[in-house]
Amino acid sequence: MKRLFRFIGKLFIWSIILSVGLVVLFKYVPVPMTPLMGIRYFESTEESKTWKHDWVSIDNISKNMQLAVICSEDQKFLEHNGFDIEAIEKAYEHNREGKRIRGGSTISQQTAKNVFLWPNRSWLRKGLEVYFTFLIETIWSKERILEVYLNSIEMGPGVYGVEAASQHWFKKSSANLTAYEAAAIVSILPNPRKYRANPASTYIQKRKEWIVKQMRFYGEFDLNK
């Protein structure tokens, strides 16, 4: 029994060391791939296997894209410490009423999940998501969190990150995305394998217009503020 507890203790300590080390590493090094990228690749058939992922510095990502994703996904991103308690409470009440499941995750939580964890829902994964969110909020800057998020999320079938998405949907660099183009890409995030950013369906067009309106009302946007 003592050996078992000693083993569990060592496993726990090494898990902490390795997870912190990985977060520190990715503070400086581009994330080459995520668990979701690997899962999607092996799930797809030989005919549909695609993997488009080009890492770019946040300095080379249009401010329109940065603001669009904040206005759509997490308008309190620059204010909270990784968790938007009000949004979580609203999502809980909404889901308890039996309506379509709504998430309350912040950009920080989504980044932690995308980079370090697997996609399915479970209490274990949610607990680890909280842990990794705390780590990246402590070790990374807001600018780095947004940079990793924009370079890692799924933005189309086999398309990951804003640069690959920009080339895929609009045949241009992410540095040159207009407000409406950025909003179009962000509009498909709820289901990027189903929706198309260009040409946009009626549903995506409405989402796009709502995001652009939020961008106009957002006010001053400065990640380094």
* Alpha-helical regions (H) of 97-199: 107-116, 123-139, 142-152, 162-170, 179-187
pTM to 2 decimal places: 0.90
Give the residue extent of every domain in the chain.
2-218
Label residue 99 exposed, middle or buried (CB < 10 Å: 0-12, 13-18, 19+).
Answer: exposed
State yes or no: cis peptide before 119, omega within 30 of 0: no
8 Å CB contact between 81 and 105: no
Torsions phi, psi of 189, nearest 5? -60, -30
Find out whether 180 and 170 touch, Cβ atoms under 8 Å.
no
CA dist., res. 200 & res. 170, Å (int): 12
Name the phi and psi angles at 154, rounded to 5.
Answer: -75, 125
Alpha carbon 104 to its chain's center: 13
Any idea which fold 2-218 has?
Penicillin binding protein transpeptidase fold (1.10.3810)
The closest alpha carbon to 18, from 148, 129, 135, 134, belongs to: 135
Q: Are 152 and 160 in contact (CB under 8 A)?
A: yes
pLDDT per residue, tens digit, the chain (225 aa), is 777 778 788 888 999 999 999 999 999 999 999 999 988 888 876 656 778 999 999 999 999 999 999 999 999 999 999 888 776 767 656 555 555 545 578 999 999 999 999 888 888 899 999 999 999 999 999 999 999 999 999 999 999 999 999 999 999 999 999 999 999 999 999 899 999 999 999 999 999 999 999 999 998 888 776
